[in-house]
């Protein structure tokens, strides 16, 4: 027992001596490491406080004044450069026929005409549209009278839920302005950029063909 106790005492002395060789014991090392970590965290927080916060305005994000020609009327609007034509039309001009769908240029529910060409309004910045002629489904109505394409969609039941219909109408309008007498295959290709979740494609194609005849009359 005495020999064992003596051996343990020698081991403790040896461990203490081993720590002393580096100028501090293991316990002192752990304490100093913890204090250093606290100091590092404090220093990091102080640096973070000096970094510009993400909600601060960055260069190029300042609102700009625009004039948009929509449905034959000039509108003065104040917009941020990142705002889309779709959001400006709906939220600032109150033109809600163009619908919010995928917002990534895939569904076509926001289709409008820009200089007679069908365009996805969610993929066009408002600042890009300045100086161009923009038309929405609201602009096809003459008083209480529907446009030819709108009337044909009603006649041929080219809609079900109706959410995609304004975009479908504008795509058809753009097609018929450039091709007044399209074949059935040309109608299918011309309308391929507009999706209908209800699957009313047969009636939509028939409505476009009917609109072509109605416009001639």
Query: pTM for the complete prediction?
Result: 0.72
Give pLDDT, residue 53.
Answer: 46
> Which domains can be identified in the chain, with CATH numbers?
2-46 (no CATH), 64-216 (3.10.20.30)
Give pLDDT, residue 58.
Answer: 43
Number of H helices, E strands in the chain: 8, 5
Which DSSP symbol is given to 61?
-
Give me the residues of the chain with pLDDT under 70, please.
Answer: 1-60
Nearest to 198 by CA among 110, 107, 121, 95: 107
pLDDT digits (tens, 9 = 90+) for 86-122: 999 999 999 999 999 999 999 999 999 999 999 999 9
């Amino acid at each position: 027992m005495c020999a064992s106790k003596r051996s343990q005492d020698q081991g403790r002395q040896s461990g203490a001596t081993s720590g002393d060789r580096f100028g501090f014991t293991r316990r002192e090392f752990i304490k100093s490491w913890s204090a250093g970590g606290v100091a590092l965290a404090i220093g990091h927080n102080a640096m973070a406080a000096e970094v510009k916060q993400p909600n601060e305005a960055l260069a190029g994000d300042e609102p700009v004044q625009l004039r948009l020609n929509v449905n034959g009327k000039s509108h003065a609007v104040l917009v941020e450069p990142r705002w889309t034509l779709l959001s400006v039309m709906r939220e600032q001009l109150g033109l809600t026929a163009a619908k919010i769908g995928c917002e990534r240029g895939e569904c076509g529910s926001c289709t409008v005409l820009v200089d007679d060409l069908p365009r996805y309004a969610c993929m066009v910045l408002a600042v890009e549209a300045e100086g161009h002629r923009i038309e929405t489904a609201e602009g096809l109505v003459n008083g209480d009278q529907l446009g030819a394409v709108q009337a044909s969609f009603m006649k041929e039941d080219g809609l079900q839920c109706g959410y995609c219909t304004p975009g479908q109408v504008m795509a058809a309008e753009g097609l018929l302005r450039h091709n007044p007498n399209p074949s059935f295959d040309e109608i299918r290709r011309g309308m391929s950029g507009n999706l209908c979740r209800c699957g009313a494609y047969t009636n939509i194609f028939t409505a476009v063909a009917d609109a072509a005849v109605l416009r001639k009359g």
